[in-house]
Structure 1
Amino acid sequence: MKKIFMLAAGLFLAGAVHAQSPIRFGIKGGLNLSNIIKENGNNNFDTKINPGFNVGVTVDIPLSESIAFTPEALYSTKGYKLTSGFGEYTQTTSFIDIPILASIKLAGTGLNVVVGPQVSFLTSTKNKFKNDLGTIENEVNNNSDNLKKSLFGGVLGLRYDINQNIDFHARYALDFQKNNENGTTSTPEYKNQVISLGFGYKF
């Protein structure tokens, strides 16, 4: 993980030195449509989307007329839902995501391809179980549970610049690592996957 931070810092400094026009800062936010890809272990269940959100800041560092370095820092909620004969179970995980992205502008349009690695840091895990008898909610103690505190993944998506300041973006993010190495009934093995839709504003 230290190597990833060093690489990100190096890319940021290199981008700043070779920037073709002023560096621009921005804010962004949107809808997360999150689910999981199940791995080995106790995974005899079917899941569905757990809607969430993301919000954060971004930096746009132009390297040429068509390529920019665009790292971000986002607060993002993920997770999944499942329904059984006993009721509905929902797990919501909160992360600080650090996408380290390149934006490639398609010639003659406001459309950009965005791609790059992402590091995610777990901040909380909340479980909710609901049936006809009532609702039970609890927050997992991440320090004592068998959950990874940081995950490495990737991002691929599109951004359309509506004008100089406002953009609409859609992307897919996938963790390359499992959330834990020893799945159990309460913490099954899985990888997060998220489809995000949102807007950004650059100053």
Structure 2
Amino acid sequence: MKKIFFLAIGLLVAGSVSAQRYYHSPRNDRSGDNNSDFYQPTVGFEVGVNVSNSVSSYNSNYSTGGLAGLNAGITFNLPLIYPLSFAPEVLYSQKGYTAATQDGNFTQRTDFIDIPLLAKFKVGPAFNFYIGPQLSYLLSTTNTYNNGFTISSEQYYENNNGHKSFLDGVIGVSFDINRSVDLHARYTIDMQQTDNYGNTYVPDYRNQVWQFGLGFKF
């Protein structure tokens, strides 16, 4: 998990350096072109990795292990007024966490459709800042128990509250490698608790996710 995290950070740093070289090289120093490009709506797609775990709604000492997953989907960029754009997305996103219990190791993996509704601020030639809400729709949950001797798994399609829809908050940044490709990093957390009826295996928690990925614009 740590290797994935640090690899993603390294890619973002490398992408930032590459982007700065691209936008500040003599043959690409075209400020007027960059400003005119800003007002062109774009459609694209992105793919990346989630590094997720959970935090308790009530217990600050509660902690879980991280779980790696996939995120991928369609992106839009709708310019409003410089430097502000509306950037909605539709993503498939894998989340979850691991936990050590008195009966063994527990892993929960959840599959979501996430719809970030983001405000995008262009704050430099190659740097963007994102913030906004996200609507998340639960597709399925798989709980796996490993007591060291046997592994059992169960799958269901709603949480213990009978809920499938959640509201999240998102904050993030991106670096434009060129006009068609960007590197991005985000932090997402549930604005409402996922389960009101916690127990040893399914605690009362909120998902939190670090997302790293590449975006491609058409």
Structure 1 pair 44/101, CA: closer, same or farther in 2 (3 Å)? closer
**C-alpha deviation, 1:105, in angstroms:** 0.9
TM-score by length of 1: 0.82
Gap change, CA 1:67 and 1:46, over 3 Å in 2: closer
1:50/1:57 CA distance change after superposition, 3 Å: same
Partner residue of 1:5? none
Report the counterpart of residue 198 of structure 1 in structure 2: 213
Q: Note the C-alpha offset of 1:168.
A: 0.2
Task: Give 1:106's match in structure 2, choosing from 111, 120, 123.
Answer: 123
- The structure with more helix, counted as a fraction of residues: 2
* Deviation, structure 1 residue 131: 3.6
Q: Write the distance in 1 (CA, Å) between the matches of 2:175 and 2:212.
A: 12
2:150 & 2:61 partners in 1: Cα distance? 25
With over 3 angstroms needed to count, the CA separation of the structure-2 counterparts of 1:47 and 1:61, relative to structure 1, is: same
RMSD in angstroms over aligned alpha carbons? 2.2
Kept in 1, the 8 Å contact 2:138–2:157? The answer is no
TM-score (norm 2): 0.76
* Higher strand proportion: 1
1:82 is aligned, of 89, 99, 115, to: 99
Q: Which of 36, 51, 70 lines up with 2:68 in the alignment?
A: 51
Distance 1:110 1:44 in 2: 39
Aligned 8 A contact 1:97 1:119 in 2:
yes
Give the Cα–Cα distance (whole angstroms) in 1 for the partners of residues 63 and 102 of structure 2: 12
Determine helix, strand or coil for the equivalent of 1:113: strand
Residue 48 (structure 2) pairs with residue 30 (structure 1): yes
Count the aligned residue pairs: 182
Cα deviation for residue 65 of structure 1 reads: 3.5
Instruction: Give the structure 2 partner of residue 39 of structure 1.
Output: 57
Q: Could you list the per-position Cα deviations for residues 87-139 of structure 1 after superposition, in whole angstroms to 9, with x for gaps in the alignment? A: 321001111111000111113x3010011111111110101112431321110
Equivalences for residues 1-203 of structure 1 within 5 A: 21-40=39-58, 46-84=63-101, 86-107=103-124, 109-142=125-158, 145-203=160-218
